[in-house]
């Protein structure tokens, strides 16, 4: 599986090869980040609607007392 750094390098290389201007790359990245934020919001809404968010939150974020 590719890590984020490798994916970014592959994506950046592809854009350089096709000759996309730096300003266009910035716009593409902004739109991709906006889309990812929307997807994240939808995923969290789903978890909350099916009452899984409370379980995830407790299992990940609640600090348990030591032994």
If one counts the domains in the chain, the total is 1
Domain that holds residue 50: 22-67
Side-chain half-sphere exposure of 23, counting CA atoms within 13 A: 0
Q: Provide the whole-model pTM.
A: 0.51
Q: Using alpha carbons, select from 37, 39, 35, 11 the residue that is nearest to residue 25.
A: 11
31 located within any domain: yes
The pLDDT score that the predictor gives to residue 29 is 83
Over its length of 67 residues, how does the chain's per-residue pLDDT go in tens digits?
Answer: 455 666 566 566 565 555 556 667 777 888 888 999 999 999 999 999 999 988 887 777 766 655 5
Query: Residue 10 falls within a domain, yes or no?
Result: no
Q: Are 53 and 47 in contact (CB under 8 A)?
A: yes
Q: What is the pLDDT of residue 1?
A: 46
- Rounded distance between C-alpha atoms, residue 19 and residue 49, angstroms: 44
What's the token pair of residue 41?
């919001």
């Amino acid at each position: 599986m590719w890590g984020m750094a490798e994916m970014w390098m592959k994506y950046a290389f592809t854009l350089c090869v096709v000759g996309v201007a730096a300003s266009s790359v910035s716009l593409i990245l902004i739109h991709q980040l906006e889309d990812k934020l929307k997807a994240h919001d939808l995923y969290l809404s789903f978890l909350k609607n099916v009452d899984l968010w409370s379980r995830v939150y407790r299992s990940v974020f609640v600090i348990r007392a030591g032994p």
